[in-house]
Amino acid sequence: MQILDGKSCSEQIRREISEQVSGLRAAGRRAPHLAAVLVGDDGASETYVANKVRDCDEIGFESTVVRMRAGTSEEELLGRVAELNADANIDGFIVQLPLPSHIDEHKITLAIDAEKDVDGFGPQSVGLMCLGLPAFVSATPNGVMELLSRNGIETEGKNCVVLGRSNIVGTPMSILLSRNATPGNCTVTIAHSRTRGLQELCARADILIAAIGRPGFVSADMVKSGAVVIDVGTTRVPDASRKSGFRLAGDVDFDRVAPKCSWITPVPGGVGPMTRASLLQNTLKAYHNRMRESDV
C-alpha cells in the first residue's frame, strides 16, 4: 500500500506556480490577484478563506478578502459580485459557500463573470468542462486528477465508482474520469443515496472515490483488493483532545481499508491540500487568459 500524498504533491504545484510568479515579477508584470468574499462568520468558512489568503501570500499572489456581515442581503452581495466582475485588478474571485440561508446560492454563482469563476461552479465553467474544452474545473475534482496524474496512476479501462453526485465534486469527477483523456478513459459509475447493492458495486471498483461526507462510511468489505481509494470527505468531528475542538474525518475507514489498497489518500493530507492548490492553478489560468485578451 502506498500513500497518495496530497501534501507533498500540492507543495510541488505551489513551487511551480511560485516560480512562474517570480518570473512574471522579474519581467515587470503584476502578480495574479485572487479575491474571496466571506459572508457571515462560519468557523469552517473563516478557516478556508484564511488558508486561501495564506496560500496566495506564500506563492506571491495578491489577495483580497471581502468581508460582509451575516445579515447581508442578496442584493448587496450581488452588487459586490458585480463590482468584482468589473474590477480590472482582480483576476478571479470566489464567494465562499455555504451562504446564509436567505441568499440563493445559485443566483450568486450565476452572477459571477465566467472569466473570473476560479471556483468553476458557474454554468459556463461546468459546461466547458463537460465539453472537454479549456475550463476552470472545480477545485476538488481538478485536485484529484492532478494527484492521479502526478503519481502515474493508470486509469484507462479501469472501473471507477464515484460515491456522491454533488455539483462540485461527484458529478464533475465522473465526467472527468470518463472522458477520452489521460487521466480518464475509466468506466465510471456514479452512486448515491438511492443506489442499491452499494457494497457489491464498490467492491468491483478499481478506483473508488468517496465524496459523501459521512465519516468512516467506506468499510473494508466495500473495497477490492488492490484498489485505488480517494477520500474526498472532510467532516469536522468533535474531538476534545484537540485545541480546535475537532478533527477532520474522511469518508473512508482508513485503518481497515488502507491495507487492502494499492494507493490511498489520507485525511488530512490527501485531497484537501490538492483542492487548495487547484484554486491557485485556476487563478493563474484566469490571469493568463486576461493577459492574453487585454495585454494589461
- Per-residue x/- track, 12-31, a second copy (CB under 8 A): --------------------
Q: Give the binding range for a second copy (CB under 8 A) out of 46-54, 70-78, 132-140, 209-217.
A: 132-140
Interaction residues for a second copy, span 233-262 (CB under 8 A): none
* Binder among 101, 194, 241, 293 for a second copy (CB under 8 A): 194
Q: Give the binding range for a second copy (CB under 8 A) out of 50-58, 170-178, 234-242, 251-259.
A: 170-178
Alpha helices in the chain (DSSP H): 6-26, 43-59, 74-86, 105-111, 123-130, 139-150, 170-178, 198-203, 254-257, 271-294
Residues 263, 226 contacting (CB under 8 angstroms): no
Task: Report d(CA 148, CA 232) in Å as an integer.
Answer: 13
* Binder among 1, 44, 131, 296 for a second copy (CB under 8 A): 131
For a second copy, give the closer residue by CB, 125 or 283.
125
What Cα–Cα distance (Å) separates residue 171 from each residue in 43, 126, 211? 27, 10, 10
Task: Report d(CA 287, CA 294) in Å as an integer.
Answer: 11
Minimum gap (Å) between residue 94 Cβ and a second copy: 17
Closest CA to 8 of 283, 284, 276, 273: 273
Task: Report d(CA 251, CA 140) in Å as an integer.
Answer: 15
For a second copy, give the closer residue by CB, 64 or 159.
159
Minimum gap (Å) between residue 222 Cβ and a second copy: 15
Catalytic residues: 52, 96, 119
The answer for residues whose C-beta is within 8 angstroms of residue 27's C-beta and 6 or more apart is none
Closest CA to 173 of 189, 154, 151, 194: 189
* Binder among 3, 65, 97, 128 for a second copy (CB under 8 A): 128
Q: Does 41 bind a second copy (CB under 8 A)?
A: no
Alpha helices in 204-270 (DSSP H): 254-257
Q: Does 192 bind a second copy (CB under 8 A)?
A: yes
* Binder among 101, 180, 241, 294 for a second copy (CB under 8 A): 180
Task: Report d(CA 121, CA 118) in Å as an integer.
Answer: 8
Q: Does 214 bind a second copy (CB under 8 A)?
A: no
Minimum gap (Å) between residue 114 Cβ and a second copy: 9
- Beta-bridge partners for 43: none
Q: Give contact residues for a second copy (rule: CB under 8 A).
A: 106, 122-128, 130-133, 135, 156-157, 159, 165, 167, 171-172, 174-175, 178-180, 185, 187-192, 194-196, 201
